[in-house]
Amino acid sequence: MAAPPKSTFPHFGDGDVLIIISTTQYYKLHSQVLSAHSSYFADHFTTNPGPRLNAAARRENLPAYRFEFKRPTDGSFGEFVRAEINEAGRVISPTNIAMMPDIDNGKTPDNTNRAWDWLFGVFYNRDPVFDDTSLATVLSCVVSLIECAEAIDSIEHVRDVVDLALMRQDNVLWTSILGNPHVWIELGRRVRSPAIYSEAAIHLVGQRNTIPDEEKNRISADIREILDRKANDLSLRKEATELRILGHYPEFMRRAAADKPGRPTYGNDIYMWMAVCFFRQWFAQSISDDRTRRAPDGGLCFYGALAEGGSAYLSHPDFQEFHKYFPMSMKACQLLEANMGVLKEDIKRFVDELMVEKTHLKRDEHLDIAWLTCSNIEKEDFPWYDANAPKKSTDALPNYDNLDDEAIMDENAMAQALAEASAEHGGPRGKKRGRNSGEISASGSEYFPETPNSNGMFVSEAGDAMEE
């Protein structure tokens, strides 16, 4: 009896698909594995099944499918061309493709030949080994892998591999995204990487006021539309924050009508009323001078000063200038500044959400991040997201009311269930690689949740106008 054919990647003896890349690089793989990982091959095998090989062809382990990779002369990537095979396993319609010899022991300058090795290896749970000398070398490798995966509609199965390879670069990757977010957001979309896409998108939304139009036009129209929408959302959040601040009164200034407050009662808070008046004058002037949400930095410096409080704004020299027009005693000056300090502490919480940094690089270590990085990039903001995509059904999964029910399925029943499932799906298939959702989580709260220590006069804590 003849020995069974040797099954070793990339030349499986029992493989029924022959894939030829060059004169010395070819693969003999399984149609079931290719169908499970590639829509391109699955369509070919479904719409035009291979011949039923005769006994002699099966004894020789000849393939039922043959694909040859055609490299066009115009410099584009290329495509596979299928050669028709008869029942004897012989080619009956040659592709007439002139196969090019490999360069540098099978490594072309653009890594394409090695990329096919990496891609088909992924189908068989083989981790590709990239040149991780630098981010540039890793990027060259993963781009080649992405191009091969796109050629056979298999990008979903390399996303985690590419993500992992790039994430290993850590700060080098995030720094590169910071420097070229418009380039990385396109790559993030190509490989469908939530982490890379979101990092680039947050930077682009934060810089929306300063990015030149020619740079914006380098981004795909669908992504530009998403970024514009996110920038508008951020602008509305900032505007609502400013309205809320302008309508804020410290809690202790409030009076109840039942107490029948008189002039002396309000007179006790005269210094806080003066502080509120001084603060609002300064705030309104800042809006008029475009130092808030319309500033080139999107209001980063302004909101950052509000979040810091203390001497970050309306410091002692500002009060000295104020007292040139409104002189007061030394004691009164001190009381006014003290009340302003209380008001500043109240204001801080209003800008907390705007100062959240949702990028991997933080502003304390990268001072060149001169924009807000608080945007929420959710799954609905990914250009590849499809809300109507069918979800996997869990109806067929066993439902156990308690752990004792597991004893119902003995080993024989489990073996029979596995055999039936294997027969139903046409035998063993290549395993799909695990996927990480990578979705950026975001708070589901409104812009301004209700806080217990806030005054609802004129502008409520939810940002809505109130009738007097």
Q: Does residue 3 carry a pLDDT above 70?
A: no
| Percentage, residues of the chain above pLDDT 70 | 78
Q: Are residues 61 and 30 in contact, defined by beta-carbon separation less than 8 angstroms?
A: no
pLDDT digits (tens, 9 = 90+) for 301-354: 999 999 999 999 999 999 999 999 999 999 999 999 999 999 999 999 999 999
Tokens describing residue 342: 């209380």
pLDDT digits (tens, 9 = 90+) for 41-77: 999 999 999 999 999 999 999 999 999 998 887 777 8
> What pLDDT shows up at residue 431?
42
Mean of pLDDT values over 140-169:
92
Query: How far apart, in whole angstroms, are the C-alpha atoms of residue 281 and residue 278?
Result: 5
> What pLDDT shows up at residue 391?
59
List, in sequence order, the alpha helices (H) in 361-428: 411-424
Full set of structural domains in the chain with CATH? 7-169 (3.30.710.10)
Which candidate, 434, 436, 430, places its Cα nearest to that of 41?
Answer: 430
Query: How far apart, in whole angstroms, are the C-alpha atoms of residue 62 and residue 60?
Result: 5
Q: Which residues pair with 361 in a beta bridge?
A: none
Minimum mean pLDDT range among 263-272, 302-311, 378-387, 439-448: 439-448
* Angle at alpha carbon of residue 46, lines to 72 and 161, rounded to 5°: 60
Q: Does residue 271 carry a pLDDT above 70?
A: yes
> What pLDDT shows up at residue 22?
86
Q: Are strands 79-85 and 91-93 parallel, antiparallel or unpaired?
A: antiparallel
Q: Are residues 262 and 312 in contact, defined by beta-carbon separation less than 8 angstroms?
A: no
Cβ-count burial 283-308 (b if 16+ within 10 Å, e if not): beebeeeebbbebebbbbbbbbbbbe
pTM of the model: 0.73
Q: Which tops the pLDDT comparison, 388 or 467?
A: 388
Helix H or strand E encompassing 199: helix 194-206
> What pLDDT shows up at residue 264?
83
